[in-house]
Structure 1
């Protein structure tokens, strides 16, 4: 997927979450009202739209403060990662394991 297309899709999602018609990709999203609650909503929306799961180390606020930084992160994920990790917790013995889904 081309970076321009990714940025367009991200802009649509961010615009919806932040309730703005258009957001400039180089601008800090804090000026549009991004806060800790909205970044969580944004992350969930991005994961659902792009069918990905962010790794724990990717889930830092700074990765989601500009459309440009979000698109760079997504481009890396979509081109370099061919799997998603879903954590499956067995409630009987509290054992956590990873299930890999290849797409």
Structure 2
């Protein structure tokens, strides 16, 4: 399964639905750029990219990166978070920070 489809499943978007793929790829690659600036050695993806392309990353860390990218996509994709309860936004921000520290350890 592609990285894009794995993230879509995590965000609970139908994998067969492609209308948001460009937007998801933008959010994912923006997150990857952020991780790269924080010395996490991963490359940007396209629609067909697989986890095996991140060959410098250990298997456990690949899942952790997917978790981080999932939360980043939820944060960007779910506009109700901008107008809703700040507790959820704060939790996501804290989780993103904690996961980043875990990856850098």
> Same fold by TM-score, threshold 0.5 exceeded?
no
Q: Which has the higher contact order (CA 8 A, sep 6+)?
A: 2
Between structure 1 and structure 2, the one with the greater Rg is 1
**Greater helix content:** 2
**Structure 1 length normalisation: TM-score?**
0.34
**Structure 2 length normalisation: TM-score?**
0.34
